Amino acid sequence: MEVLVFKTNIRYKKNVSAIHPHIAKHPGIIKWNVDLKDADKILRIETVDLHPAKIEGIIKNAGYKCEELKD
């Protein structure tokens, strides 16, 4: 299992609710959350076998921006 970290433009709880159905349909995502208090609106995803580009695509399809933050 790994934790992927992304910078997003998700700003409000209603935005988090909007991306939920897009994330929920991917069985490789174990847990996820968005830190709305962080300046970069950090999305953290615990996954078993998803490439960061796949996550970026999921968020883009939901209408938001997402960019992986490297260590």
Domains of the chain (ranges; CATH) run: 2-68 (3.30.70.100)
Residue 71, pLDDT above cutoff 80: no
Whole-number Å distance between alpha carbons of 2 and 38: 21
Q: What is the structure's pLDDT at 1?
A: 87
Span 25-64, pLDDT tens digits: 988 999 999 999 999 999 999 998 889 999 999 999 999 9
SS3 55: helix
